[in-house]
Amino acid sequence: MWIVYAFGSAVFAGLTSILAKCGIRKTDSTVATAIRTIVVLIFSWLMVFLVGSQEQISSIGGKTLIFLILSGLATGASWLCYFKALQIGDINKVVPIDKSSTVLTIILAFIFLHEEISLPKAIGVILIATGTFMMIEKKDTVHQENKGRGWLFYALGSAVFASLTAILGKVGISGVESNLGTAIRTAVVLIMAWVMVFAAKKQGEIHNVPKNELGFICLSGLATGASWLCYYKALHDGLASVVVPIDKLSILVTIAFSYIVFHERLSRKAAAGLVLIVAGTLVMLI
């Protein structure tokens, strides 16, 4: 059943990227992240009360709480990097780099969680790494750097912090109901996001967010909440080294919608890279 939740996470994560991109055309990415986190927080705690896991709050151990907080901080950092990269770069270039966090996650899961790296997983890692490299063409990188001044840096930061999120989250939710763990992490992300808004003195921009973009930001938050709930339920019941690759299949949803909504097309080389990423992900499920 946890595999179903993992695929559910992938679908909602794919929608998140598109909705978020629609919501940050004029709105600052940090402000948008802070606003959408409010939606995710409400959604997360609603699920906590629906399943009745709020009674477990008092029984959460210190170690579990620390890892949940660390996971939340890593998530916040990943979000801030990811949506900044989305704002100044093309979805078709940013998303593959973000999804390459699968490779680092598997390595970290082997080191810290002692999850075995089988031959299929090793092959999958090679295919994903190769596919990601193929989707980032040199000429596209130069163009995007001139356009966005550092989208690649933010995308790489998103991938690194996303990997840490998965590992820390796996440890953190081992002793707590997954919905409650997600809600606690989201509270940490909310605090971090708003601290960044005020630190950058961007709180005045909140009143200038276009209504249509605000709607997309809120929808993005709902999609994120749904993705998280599925993701951490899958992590709670399954293997991190399997759940994470499935979740990364959201790249198919994202690229499909980026073509429909933003008319972003893949070159033949990038399309071949996408095939390798998907193939590598599916190999890992063997």
Which residues, 6 or more positions from 120, have their beta carbon under 8 angstroms from its beta carbon? 283, 284, 286
The pair of structure tokens assigned to 235 is: 């992590």
pLDDT tens figures, 37-72: 999 999 889 889 988 888 888 888 888 889 889 999
Average pLDDT over residues 271-278: 90
Segment 245-269, tens digit of pLDDT = 788 788 888 888 888 888 888 888 8
More confident of the two residues 284 and 212? 212
pLDDT at 114 over 90: no
> Can you tell me the distance from the alpha carbon of 40 to that of 69, in angstroms, rounded to the nearest whole number?
16
- 8 Å CB contact between 98 and 159: yes
* Contact criterion met (CB below 8 Å) for 74 and 161: yes
The boundaries of the domain holding residue 69 are: 2-283
What number is the average pLDDT over the span 198-214?
91
pLDDT over 80 (residue 176): yes
Q: Are the C-beta atoms of residues 5 and 244 closer than 8 Å to each other?
A: no
Task: Measure the CA–CA gap between 99 and 140, rounded to whole angstroms.
Answer: 18
Q: What pLDDT does residue 213 have?
A: 94
176 residue type, one letter: V
- Residues sharing a CB contact under 8 Å with residue 143, sequence separation 6 or more, in sequence order: none
pLDDT surpasses 70 at 229 = yes
What is the arithmetic mean of pLDDT over 190-196? 94
The single residue listed with the structure tokens 């090679």 is 126
Tell me what pLDDT residue 39 has. 94
DSSP annotation string for 96-159: HHHHTHHHHHHHHHHHHS-----HHHHHHHHHHHHHHHHHS-HHHHHHHHHHHSSHHHHHHHHH
The structural domain count of the chain equals: 1
Q: What is the pLDDT of residues 75-102, one digit of tens each?
A: 999 989 988 888 888 887 788 888 778 7
